[in-house]
Amino acid sequence: MNTFKLTIDGVVVEAEQGMTVLQAAKRAGLFIPSLCAHDELSPYGACRLCVVEIDGIRGTPTSCTTPAAEGMVVRTNTEQLQTQRRRTIELMMSGHPSPCFSCDSREDCEVEKSTPTKAGIATRCGACSNRPGCELRGVAMGNFTRDIDLPLLYSIDKIERDDPFIDKDHNLCILCGRCFRTCEKIHDKPAISIANRGKKAKISVEFGKAWSSEECRFCGTCVDECPTGCLTDRWGKWFGVQDSLVESVCTLCPNHCKLMLKVKQGKIIGAKMLALKKENAICALGKFGIAQIVNSPRRISRMQVKVGSEQIPSSFEDAVAKIKSLFEESAGGKLVISSRDAYVETRRGLRALAKKYGADFVELAGNAESLDAQTLSKIENGEYETVLVLGNWLSAEAASKIKHLIVADFAKSAAQKFADVVLPLSIVGETSATVAGADGKPLGCAKASEPALDRRATFEYLNAVIGDFSGGDFELESLAKDFASPALDKKNLPNKFLGHYLSDFAPDLLKLGLKKSPEAAEIENSKNGFEILEKKMLVPNFHSIKISAPDAAKYVKPGQFAILMANANSERSPFTIIDWDAKEGWIEFIVEEVGRSSSELGSLKKGDRIAVMSGPLGTPVDLENFAPGSSALLLGGCYGIGAIYSIARALKEKGVKTTCAIEASTSYMLYFKDKLAAVADKLIVKTRDGTEGTKGGCSDVLAEIGANFDSIIAIGCVFMMKKCAESAPKDDSKTQLCALNPIMVDGTGMCGACRVNVGGETKFACVEGPFFPLLKVDFKELGKRRTAYKLLEIEAMPRHIGGRCHS
């Protein structure tokens, strides 16, 4: 290959023919910031961060689209280029939800909230699932000041959640074009491209239809290449960035595609293509299905052996001994049912087992509808005394006709109830084993994650039962013929794996046309409960929900909360009451989407019902502490903006001179300004990025003017209240309160989950709270207790289409 030399920032570097200036710099270890550029994709020149100055070339060309040439003299970091890049970042940030980028408390806040809030809409980095992996954030924070001079153009576009597996938040898109260049590279004709122009430009399929109606195959590669949080894996996104990538093989269909499994803390959280090359393309099942199937609550994990009439959890040795004795001692008919989507070792082993004990042998395609009629009728006639079945091929009725049944499976099935032995299996990514490649050659599958509890591969059990069978009588080549059809076309995706409907594990597959298992349960919507009279999204992720509750509405007082459950399976979670009317019989809540329970509530509509509303709860604000004519400062952040409203109104009625200060990350997250202005003598607005009111937060207000007030109440997230406590006047004679919102279970003083440390004493926030002296609360302990279930809360997230609020 021809090489030549050029000079970049005074360094003479060598480049190869066909390289761009950016590639030449990168090869020489020189850093030029860039976002749209990608080694495997065609040059595009969209983000304009990689601009350089080149002698003899006018202006500032983008280094990613400029071919390197012999003798070029390139400068990458002049003052003019820096200014230009800063402007570029500012332009991107003005249309991107960027308040965390400009916030002065960012570093402190991110220590406090080490993982992003599981919000429905990414209104800032702190509410974006891609915060840990965001390239835009990385480039911006590494190279630019946090001040943005340009006006905010954030458009609050609707989040698209109607497509399987992929959430699309166009607010985060920087139009880098990686997604459609990826799509073009892998699939020739891209399903997606940029529609519209200027401010309205966005990635879309033709005519803005749902992706699933078009060419898109949901291979998900665009999600992996998206530098921001615009395209995300609905199921896996909150787990964050993987610790490692393990090269392995997808065994869910006979194509046996090689891919990379994403592993975090020993858990498979996703998959991606081996490399961004056409020949490495994978399908929706490989990309999104594997993690959902491997982590499904339908999996089984314990070996069971029947003793008497009971299945008892047993050891490997007991299970093996039982299988041996059943096959050795059984005088009647024997049958071994195998499945073609099992590992080669397993299939060999099952054949060897059948041969050794003279059993009939049936092998089904993993995707087969059911057993053949002949075998089935033999089972139903009771002709088989001992049967070993791999996968879900026997109905409860058929299983009940078998005297001795051994079931090897990875998930629950109807037949297991009748089994003498149940063997829990390890599957994709949990076993080191062999499958047949499409070329008929053996293909090794690497283990990426340790299988939980008793799970093992079938061949491990068989090896112990019949000894070594590696020389078994079958040819890999003959097997290769079984799987000719590439499943990349979504129409060819298999419906089943080892006899189980895949849509039971990943319901979004139904949208790709996969079959539904006949037993699949419908989620019932409650007919009982409290009717929603009105529901509004005040700002992204914040909803006001007004419900009919005539009994309770008579007793609400300012500052109280109630426990809500969207449906019978929800958690009992506390939400603050912001308004009520005893005569009309309604109560209104503020609901901030931060996880499963709140997003379930957020997804309800007017006319729907909330299964449980238990309240009002908590001790209301003691209005006796606020004398008429005295002055009060109410501070509200996020849900606290709603929470201080009813208190401000009550204080106004009492003749207290009230100042309300509200803070939000940015202008588009402010709400209730008019409502608060109507009940307060003065309203102070603060935003973290300075896009409305003055820059800063409530703690700054407190530091500036807190000393002038007789009483102070602060309501918001733990971080906001902690900051307020730090800057509040250290004066015990004032009434200074905060309203705490710890994890609760019952909310009536029964469980103690909500206990908080106030001045060295343990208090129950649900009964003795939520109001406590601001200066005495141990916020550090509260913060730790609030985040105790972080990982489980991610697992609990609703992850199928329609599982979350659509606005």
Partner 1 sequence: MAEEKVRKTRASGLPRLVMPEQNPVRRATNFEEVPYGISLEVAMDEASRCLRCPKPRCMAACPVNINIPQFIAEIAEGNPQAAAEKLKTQTALPAVCGRVCPQELQCEGSCVLGLRGQPVAIGTLERFAADYVRQNKLDKLPEKAAPTGKKVAVIGCGPAGITAAADLAIAGHEVEVFEALHLPGGVLMYGIPQFRLPKEIVAHEVEQLKKLGVKIHLNYLIGKLESVDQLMKEGFDAIFIGSGAGLPMFLGIPGENSVGVFSANEFLTRFNLMKAYDFPNHATTPIHAKHIITVGGGNVAMDSSRTALRIGAKSTLVYRRAREQMPARKEEVHHAEQEGVDLQLLTNPKRVIADENGKVIALECVRMELGEPDESGRRSVTEISGSEFQIPCDAIVVSIGNRPNPLIPMTCKSLATTRKGTLEVDPETLQTSMAGVFAGGDVVSGAATVISAMGQAKKAAANINKYLRGEPLKDEAAPSAL
Of 46, 219, 611, 648, which one interacts with partner 1 (CB under 8 A)? 611
CB under 8 A: which stretch of 28-36, 46-54, 663-671, 791-799 binds partner 1?
A: 791-799
Beta carbon nearer to partner 1, 311 or 687: 311
Beta carbon nearer to partner 1, 7 or 787: 787
Query: Residues with Cβ < 8 Å from 519, sequence gap 6 or more?
Result: none
Count of residues engaged in binding partner 1, rule: CB under 8 A? 52
Of 167, 571, 588, 663, which one interacts with partner 1 (CB under 8 A)? 571
Q: Is 112 in the site for partner 1 (CB under 8 A)?
A: no
Provide, rounded to whole angstroms, the least separation between the CB of residue 764 and partner 1: 8
Cα–Cα separations (whole angstroms), residue 160 to 41, 175, 180, 413, 715: 26, 17, 17, 35, 32
Provide, rounded to whole angstroms, the least separation between the CB of residue 554 and partner 1: 7
Q: Which residue do the tokens 């009536």 mark?
A: 748
Whether the ω angle into residue 770 lies within 30 degrees of 0, i.e. cis, is yes
Provide, rounded to whole angstroms, the least separation between the CB of residue 110 and partner 1: 16
Mark 311-350 with x for binding to partner 1 (rule: CB under 8 A) and - for no binding: xxxx------------------------------------
Provide, rounded to whole angstroms, the least separation between the CB of residue 392 and partner 1: 20
Q: Is 788 in the site for partner 1 (CB under 8 A)?
A: yes
Of 371, 613, 679, 775, which one interacts with partner 1 (CB under 8 A)? 613
Cα–Cα separations (whole angstroms), residue 410 to 4, 72, 253, 501: 58, 61, 16, 12
Provide, rounded to whole angstroms, the least separation between the CB of residue 755 and partner 1: 6
CB under 8 A: which stretch of 149-157, 364-372, 469-477, 610-618 binds partner 1?
A: 610-618
CB under 8 A: which stretch of 42-50, 116-124, 663-671, 746-754 binds partner 1?
A: 746-754
Beta carbon nearer to partner 1, 110 or 746: 746
Q: Is 784 in the site for partner 1 (CB under 8 A)?
A: yes
Query: Hey, is 286 helix, strand or coil?
Result: helix
Stretch 416-455 residues interacting with partner 1 (CB under 8 A): 453
Provide, rounded to whole angstroms, the least separation between the CB of residue 326 and partner 1: 19
Look at residues 435, 427, 438 and name the one whose alpha carbon lies nearest to residue 487. Answer: 438
Helices (H), 284-424: 284, 290-294, 316-329, 344-357, 373-380, 396-400
Beta carbon nearer to partner 1, 67 or 783: 783
Convert 463-490 to b/e letters by CB count within 10 Å (16 or more is b): bbbbeebeebeeebeebbeebeeebbeb
User: 774 with 730: CB under 8 angstroms?
Assistant: no
Beta carbon nearer to partner 1, 152 or 553: 553
Q: Is 195 in the site for partner 1 (CB under 8 A)?
A: no
CA 35/CA 138 separation, integer angstroms = 10
Provide, rounded to whole angstroms, the least separation between the CB of residue 500 and partner 1: 17
Strands 384-390, 333-339: parallel, antiparallel or unpaired by DSSP?
parallel
Mind giving me the DSSP string for 659-680?
A: EEEEEESSGGG---HHHHHHHS
Of 748, 773, 803, 807, which one interacts with partner 1 (CB under 8 A)? 748
* Beta strands across the sheet bearing 267-272: 244-249, 258-264, 267-272
Beta carbon nearer to partner 1, 118 or 348: 118
CA 52/CA 464 separation, integer angstroms = 66
Mark 528-567 with x for binding to partner 1 (rule: CB under 8 A) and - for no binding: -----------------------xx-xx-------x-x--
Longest dimension (CA), the chain: 96
CB under 8 A: which stretch of 89-97, 675-683, 709-717, 755-763 binds partner 1?
A: 755-763
CB under 8 A: which stretch of 252-260, 402-410, 769-777, 788-796 binds partner 1?
A: 788-796
Provide, rounded to whole angstroms, the least separation between the CB of residue 313 and partner 1: 5
Look at residues 499, 526, 525, 639 and name the one whose alpha carbon lies nearest to residue 578. Answer: 639
Q: Is 762 in the site for partner 1 (CB under 8 A)?
A: yes
Look at residues 86, 79, 84, 75 and name the one whose alpha carbon lies nearest to residue 32. Answer: 75
User: Hey, how many other C-beta atoms are within 10 angstroms of the C-beta on 42?
Assistant: 10
User: 314 with 302: CB under 8 angstroms?
Assistant: no
Beta carbon nearer to partner 1, 528 or 733: 528
Stretch 238-297 residues interacting with partner 1 (CB under 8 A): 297
The DSSP call for residue 184 is H
CA 196/CA 22 separation, integer angstroms = 29
Beta carbon nearer to partner 1, 432 or 517: 517
Query: Residues with Cβ < 8 Å from 141, sequence gap 6 or more?
Result: 101
Of 201, 241, 678, 750, which one interacts with partner 1 (CB under 8 A)? 750
Bridge partners of 389?
A: 337, 407
Of 307, 520, 678, 707, which one interacts with partner 1 (CB under 8 A)? 307
Provide, rounded to whole angstroms, the least separation between the CB of residue 615 and partner 1: 7
Q: Is 612 in the site for partner 1 (CB under 8 A)?
A: yes
- Gyration radius of the chain's alpha carbons: 31
Q: Which residue do the tokens 């003052």 mark?
A: 79
Of 79, 188, 310, 475, which one interacts with partner 1 (CB under 8 A)? 310
Of 755, 773, 803, 806, which one interacts with partner 1 (CB under 8 A)? 755
Q: Which two tokens stand for residue 618?
A: 């908590």
Of 478, 569, 694, 708, which one interacts with partner 1 (CB under 8 A)? 569
Stretch 133-192 residues interacting with partner 1 (CB under 8 A): none
Q: Is 485 in the site for partner 1 (CB under 8 A)?
A: no
User: 541 with 713: CB under 8 angstroms?
Assistant: no
Of 785, 800, 801, 805, which one interacts with partner 1 (CB under 8 A)? 785
Provide, rounded to whole angstroms, the least separation between the CB of residue 10 and partner 1: 47
Q: Is 753 in the site for partner 1 (CB under 8 A)?
A: yes
User: 534 with 574: CB under 8 angstroms?
Assistant: no
Q: Which two tokens stand for residue 327?
A: 């096959």
Torsions phi, psi of 201, nearest 5? -60, 135
CB under 8 A: which stretch of 25-33, 122-130, 284-292, 740-748 binds partner 1?
A: 740-748
Of 28, 757, 773, 806, which one interacts with partner 1 (CB under 8 A)? 757
Provide, rounded to whole angstroms, the least separation between the CB of residue 779 and partner 1: 12
CB under 8 A: which stretch of 283-291, 385-393, 423-431, 593-601 binds partner 1?
A: 593-601
End-to-end CA, the chain: 54
CA 498/CA 393 separation, integer angstroms = 8
Provide, rounded to whole angstroms, the least separation between the CB of residue 1 and partner 1: 53
Beta carbon nearer to partner 1, 301 or 400: 301
Of 4, 316, 361, 789, which one interacts with partner 1 (CB under 8 A)? 789
The DSSP call for residue 141 is H
Provide, rounded to whole angstroms, the least separation between the CB of residue 105 and partner 1: 22
Q: Which residue do the tokens 């030029």 mark?
A: 32
Cα–Cα separations (whole angstroms), residue 156 to 102, 463, 534, 688: 19, 59, 21, 18
Provide, rounded to whole angstroms, the least separation between the CB of residue 121 and partner 1: 21
Query: Residues with Cβ < 8 Å from 321, sequence gap 6 or more?
Result: none
Q: Is 526 in the site for partner 1 (CB under 8 A)?
A: no
3-state helix, strand, coil in the chain (%, to 5): 30, 25, 45
Torsions phi, psi of 670, nearest 5? -85, 135
* Angle, helices 316-329/458-466, rounded to nearest 10 degrees: 60
Residues near partner 1 (CB under 8 A) are 297, 302, 304, 307, 310-314, 453, 551-552, 554-555, 563, 565, 569-572, 596-597, 600, 611-617, 745-746, 748-753, 755-757, 762, 767, 781, 784-785, 788-789, 792-793, 795-796
